[in-house]
Structure 1
């Protein structure tokens, strides 16, 4: 191999190295770019991660109706089934609504799940407030166990008139390993098989049938 060929090969290797570094950096940049695009396009809006308190004196606006659609997704490494009781509800802004999601651990092992919510369009996410949500806490479930997971929410009355539909979507992740690393204890007593307990409410809600 002559010197010109070796020089050409070194140059090629150098350019390939630059390309690999550039692609690696672009991969890291995709996450913030994706967040920016979602915010600009009004999709995958983030919702409150702590319990919201219904403002005193807030009244339902019965002249308006917002369709709330419920979706459920399960990460591939999570052997649970996960679904909403209702696929959609028609809600008056300012009305407190109670419904549930159902979870079933289809494996023989005790596992811990974590649901991550999003609301679309993103412009409506700040008007969607969760008073009680299973997504606020880890959800432990024994092997073959089932649980009803409550959701209580309201939509703020000043939601823009241009928004007629909100889609609430949850993705359920298996966090058993990370929870164990953090020293979390798998408390199965919170999610017994066939559990149907619901939180006590100190305010009126429009409760959906649990039959």
Structure 2
């Protein structure tokens, strides 16, 4: 084997390794949006659904919905459900409220994540409107009531894995947006990008 053949073989190996690194980087970059899409489509891991309109049927069968609220330690807010639980009919459009209070002396922006348990109920828990769809900005000492408009899809009874569910817990966790964004909010400077 000549030196030229060795160089060509080495270059092929280098290009293959570069291709592997690029592929792995692209796969890592795509993993988060793909996982988010997968969860939204399937309700996997208790991910709730977004509805554009109310349910077209309401059943007499009821289900109990419990509400939970949490705040990450770096966000100086009080956050709580204004009702601890509700008994609702399947398909019934319902309004619930959460309360948030900024306990700090600065304007803070928060965003909530959410999930439903048991996770099989996530696919059937449909939100029409929710404070969790957008960021929430609270001035020092400000208190707000945040609405949640939802229904539990009656199709849940047709799923053998979910038809036995009689209690659902909806849990929200608020976390603080980055400090630069909070500083822009206090000074009135425009934000350069929005959170996805």
Q: CA deviation at 1:143?
A: 0.4
Q: CA deviation at 1:55?
A: 5.4
Query: Once superposed, what is the RMSD of the aligned Cα atoms?
Result: 2.8
Q: Which runs of 5+ in 2 are unaligned?
A: 1-31, 158-162, 189-196
The 8 Å contact of residues 107 and 185 in structure 2, kept in 1 or not, is answered as: no
Q: Deviations over 1:14-33 (max 9, x none)?
A: xxxxxxxxxxxxxxxxxx9x
The 8 Å contact of residues 54 and 128 in structure 2, kept in 1 or not, is answered as: no
- Separation of aligned partners in 1, 2:94 and 2:128: 10
Q: Which residue of 1 aligns with 2:108?
A: 111
- Separation of aligned partners in 1, 2:173 and 2:44: 15
The 8 Å contact of residues 112 and 186 in structure 1, kept in 2 or not, is answered as: no
- Separation of aligned partners in 2, 1:59 and 1:163: 19
TM normalised by structure 1 equals: 0.62
Q: Which residue of 2 aligns with 1:139?
A: 136
Selected match of 1:91 from 88, 92, 95: 88
Q: What number of residue pairs does the alignment pair up?
A: 146
- Separation of aligned partners in 2, 1:141 and 1:179: 13
Selected match of 2:97 from 80, 97, 100: 100
Higher helix share: 2
- Separation of aligned partners in 1, 2:54 and 2:81: 27
- Separation of aligned partners in 2, 1:139 and 1:186: 14
Please show how residues 42-61 of structure 1 align to structure 2 within 5 Å.
Answer: 44-48=45-49, 51-54=50-53, 58-61=56-59
Q: Which stretches of structure 1, 4 residues or more, deviate above 6 A after TM superposition? A: none
- Separation of aligned partners in 2, 1:134 and 1:118: 14
The 8 Å contact of residues 129 and 154 in structure 1, kept in 2 or not, is answered as: yes
Q: Which runs of 5+ in 1 are unaligned?
A: 1-31, 189-211
Q: Which residue of 2 aligns with 1:174?
A: 176
Please show how residues 71-90 of structure 1 align to structure 2 within 5 Å.
Answer: 71-90=68-87
TM normalised by structure 2 equals: 0.66
The 8 Å contact of residues 107 and 182 in structure 2, kept in 1 or not, is answered as: no
Q: CA deviation at 1:54?
A: 2.4
| Distance change >3 Å, CA 186–CA 121, structure 1 → 2 | farther
1:154 aligns with 2:147: no
Selected match of 2:62 from 62, 65, 73: 65
- Separation of aligned partners in 1, 2:186 and 2:93: 31
| Distance change >3 Å, CA 105–CA 99, structure 1 → 2 | same
The 8 Å contact of residues 43 and 120 in structure 1, kept in 2 or not, is answered as: no
SS at match of 1:159: helix
The 8 Å contact of residues 140 and 187 in structure 1, kept in 2 or not, is answered as: no
